[in-house]
Structure 1
Amino acid sequence: MSAAPFPLSALLQRADLWRGDALGCAEQAGLASGFASLDALLPGGGWPRGALTELLLPQAGLGGGLGELSLLRPALRALDAEAGWVLLVSPPWLPHAPAWQGLGPGLSRLIVVEAARDDAAWACEQLLASGAVAALLAWLPESDARALRRLQLAMAGQQALAFVFRPDRFVDSASPAPLRISLAAEATGLALHIVKRRGPPLAAPLILPVERPINWTRLAARQTPSPLQTVAQGVATGVPLAGVKNGARV
């Protein structure tokens, strides 16, 4: 005797099923990004906890000049009330101390890890295993999908935030990160192209009025800055990453 068919309408009511035309549900609530228009587009209502967020930047942006850290500033400030370390792994520049001091967790909870290119992803994995991480920011320009998959597995069950910065040439490459956003400068702010999320694709980028020391029109039009220009802008305006690279002041 065959079982009675299960009605489709009943299946669609199940909480553990995700419809491709709807925003997916996150396993745990996200941390508010500080931008209501962005939170409305993210599963969980904010930056995901316990999962990787991949930020894809132009090559110039990997030097800290695009405003990606200003985008994360409200979330990092919100971590002031939570325990755990804020880790910077292989940043292109050492932190500008006065800027980080007012960021939220402050310098007392900031750890900067200098790792060789081939060891950076492994270092992230070991740090996450400690269970004492509030936020991980890692610059992994050469890491492949296999390394990112290991990091995604290491994030499982954690409350931490994890942001991986990679060049935008990987925008069409496979990645295990459940949230991938490509960043670009526009005349009116920072353009966020949500490349991947648990939800339907977006037809147009989201433009956010992220604070920048340089006028957005100038940033969108200019060519890749020299290292000296990047450092001078950071020191003068308090960009969180500025001033020293590989232990030598420019």
Structure 2
Amino acid sequence: MHKLIKNLQDRQLIWKGLQSTTQGSTTSSGYPQLDKQLNGGFPAHGVIEIESKQGIGELRLLTPYLSQQNPQKLAIFINPPGKICAEFFNNQGIHLENILVIQPQRDLDALWAAEQCLKSGACHSVLLWGADLEIHQTKRLQAASETGKCLQFHFKATSHNQLSLPVSLSMRLSAHAQGLKVEVTKRKGSWSYGNFVLDMSQNWPLLTQKVIHEDNSHRALSDNTVLAFPIAKQG
């Protein structure tokens, strides 16, 4: 029985309550505050699920990470919800020749493309937008990620689907005046730590504006408040 338990532990199929939560290699997200919450940063490979509305800063969450990856490898964008802005990535130090955009017509084709890119060894990151994943699909992406040592980010819309997938990390994002409110809903080999506010004002100073305090009863924008991005026109 002891050999069986040890074998399961070696394969990380069981977890002991007293074991360290720093198991496995990590890579910095580019945000020290987020790295601290994740005990070092993003996992080196695996599937990261990001539940978020579009246009609240979800891509800004990943650009510091993308900019520090191996320049000899590719970042793959599969079915992004909008056109990729070349100037944005140039300003972040991400070379355009290292970005490949794939726009399959069907979700199944998008999943196939993601799996091939993950296990190819030519990519450091695959960003996939699309429908909710099934358990067997997630397992295939996890296996491909481990084969190619490539990290998979899956963006999904906020939904009521509470199916727990075998992902390495799951986060739920919502807009916040100072950046993003991040809720870590699942982390492989560890407990979730609830939610926290990720302050983006240092990384994105041009998206902040000074606040003017009018009086105690009416408070205008104050200090450095990160503006929602993109800003919707009103009128």
TM-score by length of 2: 0.75
| Residue 25 of structure 1, aligned match among 22, 25, 35 | 22
Relative to structure 1, is the Cα distance of residues 171 and 40 closer, same or farther in structure 2, using a 3 angstrom cutoff? farther
**2:43 is the alignment partner of 1:48:** yes
In the superposition, relative to structure 1, how do residues 193 and 113 fare at CA in structure 2: closer, same or farther (>3 Å)? same
Flag structure 1 segments of 5+ consecutive residues without an equivalent: 6-13, 233-250
The alignment's C-alpha RMSD in Å is: 3.1
- Structure 2 vs 1, CA of residues 75 and 217 (structure 1 numbering), >3 Å: closer, same or farther? closer
- Rounded Cα–Cα distance in structure 1 between residues aligned with 2:180 and 2:169: 17
Which residue of 87, 91, 98 maps to 1:102? 91
Structure 2 unaligned segments of length 5 or more: list them: 3-9, 210-224
Residue of structure 1 in register with 2:65 after alignment: 75
Q: Which moved more, 1:127-136 or 1:174-183?
A: 127-136
Quote the sequence identity (%): 28
Distance 1:170 1:125, change over 3 A: farther
Q: Hey, what's the Cα distance between the residues in 1 that align with 2:154 and 2:126? A: 8
Question: How far is 1:152 from its partner?
Answer: 1.0
Aligned equivalent of 1:91, options 56, 80, 95: 80
1:35 corresponding residue in structure 2: 31
Contact 1:18 1:25 in 2 (8 A): no
> CA, structure 1 residues 131+180, in 2 after alignment: closer, same or farther (shift >3 Å)?
same
Contact 1:54 1:166 in 2 (8 A): yes
Q: Give the Cα separation in 1 of the matches to 2:81 and 2:176.
A: 23
Q: How far did residue 20 of structure 1 move?
A: 3.5
Q: 1:85 to 1:94 in 2, by over 3 A?
A: same
Letter in 2 for 1:33: S
Larger % of helix: which?
A: 1
From 169, 191, 195, the counterpart of 1:200: 191
Pick the structure with more strand per residue: 2
Taking the aligned partners of 1:56 and 1:174, their CA distance within structure 2 comes to 13
Pick from 103, 106, 112 the counterpart of residue 114 of structure 1.
103
Match of 1:163, SS state, is strand
Residues in 2 aligned to 1:23 and 1:116: alpha-carbon distance in whole angstroms? 44
Shift of 1:109: 0.9
What is the CA–CA distance in structure 2 between the aligned matches of 1:196 and 1:116, rounded to whole Å?
A: 30
CA drift at 1:22: 6.0
Alpha-carbon shift at residue 217 of structure 1 (Å) = 7.4
Equivalent pair of 2:77/2:126 in contact (CA under 8 Å): yes
Question: How many positions carry a matched residue from both structures?
Answer: 205
2:77·2:127 contact (CA, 8 Å) conserved in 1?
A: yes
SS at match of 1:69: coil
**Shift of residue 38 of structure 1?**
1.4
